[in-house]
Each structure stands twice: as structure tokens, then as C-alpha cells.
Amino acid sequence: MEPIITKTKVLIIGSGPAGLAAAIYAARASLEPILIHGMQPGGQLTITTDVENYPGFAETIQGPWLMQEMEKQAEKVGTKLVHDYVEKVELKTKPFKAYTASGNLYEANSIIICTGAQAKWLGIKSEQEFQGFGVSGCATCDGFFFKGMDVVVIGGGNTAVEEALYLTNHAKKVYIVHRRDEFRAEKILQERLFEHDKISVIWDSVLEEVVGTSNPKSVTGIKIRNIKSNELSNLECSGVFIAIGHKPNTDIFNDQITMDEEGYIITAPDSTKTNIPGVFAAGDVQDKIYRQAVTAAGTGCMAALEADKFLRDL
């Protein structure tokens, strides 16, 4: 069966804060954008319960609610929202093409890529069970909720050491559990960590299980296993931060666009422009430093404004 072909000036791939902010600005510029939701409509915020750091809300809000409101706003100003998933793109010829899981084809004069990134998880059952209830993949998002408590960071690279250092602003005590006997993190970060009196390192150990209560749902501790002695031990804590890195959702753009060695899309300085004129990237798919909803939304705005200028200059 021949695919249904839909033509658009701007195609936005992804529906987190970056994609929806891009949609709002593109629609207000009368570009009549089409936004394709992707696998996780609303992005990572839909699995984030309490949000306290998004500007404009004095009280704690819910991540899924915030994304629903952004989606309503995008639709109200003229965005067409499509519940589908892009499986393949062609960015080397004009117009750009995007093929979806439902068999449809979108042809676009410009594309804004907002497919985001996801925290890497260990994949153990109890980790998933307490996600959002004491288990987190983002210290800067959730550290505030653990004021005066004991927390654990799992990992040994830059992400883990940076998260441990950040958490000392809030937590009473920070344990960092690493499967090796030395960190991979930059030496200057390691020096800061070893000098900090709030941080203790547990070497040669892995997380076996997150322990907690079901009513109310909360973390009370972890079980860790020493990989040399195989000995199990318990550690009391209120929060567990999994800091083993992030993976950008860029597999469909392999060999199409310039990325770094980790798979993040490279954009021009102070811009969302990629190496392909007319293709822009915003949010966590190109930002491995800040990874916040507000910075993603900011770059989404930038991408829409840059796409508008690109189309007017054609």
C-alpha cells in the first residue's frame, strides 16, 4: 500500500519540553507545524512526579500535568499533533522525509529534532518499582526532595561524581557505590569528591536491590554486593540516584547528521543549527550538560525561531 504523504513547512520529531516549545513558537509564526509524538509522548517529564523547579509555579506540580498543558497550548495555537513514531528519516535530499511506524510519509522543508535522551538504568526490578518514589536518574531535578537525608549515588564516571557533589547541597550524607576500585571521572572532580566530608565511597560493589515500603511508597535502603568477596550488606538511605550515563535517542539519525562519539547531535555554538541547513536539534538530544526541562524548552524556542528565519530566507 502506498504511504499517505503529508507535506509541511516544519516537522517536529519528539514531544517533550523542547518539541512542544518549538511547536508553540512555530505555530505562532504561522508555520503550521506538525509534531510527531514518538514512543514517549511528553518525554521524560511524564515519568517525573513532583516538579518544583519549572519557572512560574510556586507550588509543586506534576510532570505529566505540565506536559499536558504544554500540549494543549501547542494545539491551541495551531500545531497538528500526531500520535505516531518516526522509524526512518532521509535528510540528505530536499524535501526532508520522515517515515512513521503507521506507514505514513511526511515531507518537510525543515525539521526540528527533539527526540531527547534517556537515563541509563541498571534494569533491576526494584529499581523500576521505586522510580519516582526515591529512585531517580537526575540529582539536579530531585536532590531538593532529600534535604537532610542520606542518599546513594550509583556509578563511577563524571556523571556520578558530579551528582554526588551536587547532592551535598541537600543531603546529610552521600554514599557513592562503584563497581571498580577507582573512578573514571576527571581528576579534578575526584579531588573535590575525596576532600568532601559529606561523601563516602563504597568500592568494588554493585546495587543488588532497592528496599522500601509500599504504603506510602518510599525507599528505606539498599542491598549491595561486594564483587570481590560476594558479601551482601545493607545500607540505610532515603534516595538512590542512578548515574551511569545517558543515551540520546538518535539511532534513526545515524549516518545522516553529525553527532559526537556518544551519539548527541552537534549543533553550532549559540544555535540549534545542525550540519544540515534546515535541520535543527533542541533539548536533551543535543544537550548533555544541563538536561533540564527549562533549558530544553529554551532551545525548542530557539529552534523554531531559527527554522522560521531559514524558511523566510529560502
C-alpha span between 73 and 235 (Å, rounded): 45
Catalytic residue among 50, 84, 114, 141: 141
Catalytic residue among 50, 114, 142, 260: 142
Place of cell 516538579: 51
Give catalytic status of residue 142 as yes or no: yes
Instruction: Write the CA distances from 254 to 10, 20, 84, 88, 155, integer angstroms.
Output: 21, 24, 20, 10, 28
Catalytic residue among 50, 84, 114, 138: 138
What does the DSSP 8-state code read for residue 33? -
Give, for 282, the enclosing helix (H) or strand (E): none
Residues 6+ apart with CB under 8 A from 76: none
Q: Given the C-alpha cell 539536579, which residue does it identify? A: 140
Closest CA to 289 of 264, 253, 261, 258: 264
* Strand (E) or helix (H) holding 211: strand 205-214
Output the CA torsion sign for 294, 299, 304, 309: positive
Q: What angle do CA 246, 17, 311 make, to 5 degrees?
A: 110
- Catalytic residue flag (residue 237): no
For the question of residue 114 being annotated catalytic, the response is: no
CB burial of 44-63 (b: ≥16 within 10 Å; e: otherwise) equals bbbebeebeeeeeeeeebeb
| 219/232 Cα distance (integer angstroms) | 18
Catalytic residues: 138, 141-142
